[in-house]
């Protein structure tokens, strides 16, 4: 369904929700208010157990606007990567806009991004924008500026200057998604993978305009590490998706003919994540020690620290007691 050179392209906005009953209505209003046309809006709930689906039904009940609307409710939870894959497969737009169920797209978001894409002869495979900090009381604050991606030319640039990216303000071309294939099941940092794919393909740009209100305290929020268990929880959460995403980055680099530039560093990172998985998943100290010995490229100091967290977290009790006291 590609557009001719003089036409406005059909684009898709994917409003993806999970456990966001209190915020999804505002996200949907933002999608409905888009000034670009033609636009199809897919609103999908990833098997939420709260009232998210009821809130979606209520928010769309009286919609009679110009945009094509498609609703989807997954019978089981797919997770971020597989949820995106499913919605991309059902949609038709040349550009794919990601919209989280707790953020709000400003009315001109799609129009501004499409204008920039057309001005660049449809070359970029990813367009990011700035964001507006939105607190839990719907008050707006400062502008959030992700890395300007326009200077990144290849995988070597990406590795030398890892960019700060926020998926809530990204749009991707369908062609880059098709070139590299679906996101692997278990993907959480889809924005990280898609920025890499774009950089090694048609390139990526960042518009110096805030077009999304980005809500604090969402599913991507950071928590303070005031107990050893907090560190372990965060470490294992990151490990679960890194184990999935790092091999995909290597596969994508190979497909783009740029594996040599990133293979050594990404392989080292993957070995670290394998060590984390094995040392925390071990049933006894002997197995943990085997994991310690089997990871020579992981720095010794890091291996020792993680070994303490996995085998003897009580040794860290005084350290975290002091940290909590200082945080008061």
pLDDT tens profile 233-274:
888 999 999 999 999 999 999 999 999 999 999 999 999 999
Structure-block tokens of residue 83: 């949820």
Q: How far apart are CA 94 and CA 3, in angstroms?
A: 8
Q: Are 175 and 30 members of one domain?
A: yes
Burial 100-126 (b: 16+ CB within 10 A, else e): bbbbbbbbebbbbbbebbeeeebebbb
Q: How confident is the model at residue 5 (pLDDT cuts 50, 70, 90)?
A: very low
Looking at the domain assignment, is residue 222 inside a domain? no
Mean pLDDT score of the chain, rounded to an integer?
92
3-class SS at 227?
Answer: coil
Q: How confident is the model at residue 4 (pLDDT cuts 50, 70, 90)?
A: very low
Mean pLDDT computed over 311-326: 70
Last residue of a domain, one of 181, 215, 249: 215
Please give, one letter per residue, the 3-state secondary structure of 293-312. Answer: HCCCCCCHHHHHHHHHHHHC
pLDDT tens for each residue of 51-108: 999 999 999 999 999 999 999 999 999 999 999 999 999 999 999 999 999 999 999 9
pTM of this prediction?
0.90
pLDDT tens for each residue of 98-140: 999 999 999 999 999 999 999 999 999 999 999 999 998 889 9
Looking at the domain assignment, is residue 6 inside a domain? no
What integer pLDDT is reported at residue 141 of this predicted model?
A: 96
Number of domains composing the chain: 2
The CATH number given to whatever domain includes residue 41 is: 3.90.550.10
Looking at the domain assignment, is residue 223 inside a domain? no
Q: Are 71 and 32 members of one domain?
A: yes
Element of type H or E holding 259: helix 259-281
Last residue of a domain, one of 215, 243, 262: 215
What integer pLDDT is reported at residue 2 of this predicted model?
A: 40
Residues 6+ apart with CB under 8 A from 54: 21
Q: How far apart are CA 157 and CA 204, in angstroms?
A: 12
Q: How far apart are CA 275 and CA 294, in angstroms?
A: 8
Looking at the domain assignment, is residue 257 inside a domain? yes
pLDDT tens for each residue of 44-58: 999 999 999 999 999
Q: How far apart are CA 22 and CA 219, in angstroms?
A: 13
Looking at the domain assignment, is residue 5 inside a domain? no
Q: How far apart are CA 263 and CA 271, in angstroms?
A: 12
Q: Are 174 and 310 members of one domain?
A: no
Mean pLDDT computed over 291-315: 90
Bridge partners, residue 128, by sequence: 170, 206
Q: Are 154 and 295 members of one domain?
A: no
Tell me how long the chain is: 328
Place of tokens 């919605």: 87
Element of type H or E holding 208: strand 204-215
Domain carrying residue 292: 228-327
What integer pLDDT is reported at residue 315 of this predicted model?
A: 72
Looking at the domain assignment, is residue 170 inside a domain? yes
- DSSP string across 42-86: EEEE---SSSHHHHHHHHHTT---SSEEEEEE-SS---HHHHHHH
3-class SS at 104?
Answer: strand
Question: What's the N-to-C CA distance of the chain in angstroms?
Answer: 58
Looking at the domain assignment, is residue 4 inside a domain? no
| Contact by Cβ (8 Å): 44, 16 | yes
Last residue of a domain, one of 171, 190, 215: 215
């Amino acid at each position: 369904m590609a557009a001719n050179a003089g036409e406005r392209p059909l684009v898709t906005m994917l409003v993806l929700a999970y456990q966001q009953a209190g915020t999804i209505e505002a996200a949907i209003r933002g999608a409905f208010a888009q000034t670009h046309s033609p636009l199809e809006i897919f609103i999908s709930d990833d098997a939420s157990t709260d009232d998210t689906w009821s809130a979606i039904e209520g928010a769309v009940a009286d919609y009679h606007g110009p945009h094509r609307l498609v609703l989807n409710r997954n019978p089981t939870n797919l997770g971020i990567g597989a949820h995106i894959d499913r919605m991309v497969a059902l949609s038709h737009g040349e550009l794919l806009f990601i919209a989280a169920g707790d953020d709000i797209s400003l009315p001109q978001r799609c129009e501004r991004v499409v204008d920039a894409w057309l001005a660049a002869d449809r070359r970029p495979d990813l367009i990011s924008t700035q964001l507006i900090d939105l607190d839990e009381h719907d008050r707006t604050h400062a502008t959030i500026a992700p890395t300007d991606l326009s200077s990144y030319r290849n995988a070597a640039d990406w590795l030398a200057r890892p960019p700060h990216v926020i998926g809530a303000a990204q749009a991707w071309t369908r062609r880059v998604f098709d070139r590299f294939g679906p996101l692997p099941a278990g993907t959480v940092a889809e924005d990280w993978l898609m920025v890499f794919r774009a950089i090694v393909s048609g390139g990526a740009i960042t518009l110096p305009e805030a077009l999304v209100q980005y809500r604090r305290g969402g599913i991507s929020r950071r928590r303070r590490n005031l107990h050893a268990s907090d560190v372990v929880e965060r470490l294992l959460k990151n490990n679960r998706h890194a184990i999935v995403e790092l091999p995909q980055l290597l596969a994508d680099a190979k497909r783009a003919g740029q594996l040599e530039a990133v293979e050594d560093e990404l392989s080292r990172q993957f070995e670290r994540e394998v060590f984390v998985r094995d040392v925390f998943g071990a049933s006894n100290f002997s197995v943990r020690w085997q994991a310690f010995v089997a990871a020579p490229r992981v720095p010794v100091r890091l291996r020792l620290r993680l070994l303490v967290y996995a085998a003897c977290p009580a040794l860290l009790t005084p350290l975290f007691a002091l940290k909590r006291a200082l945080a008061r």
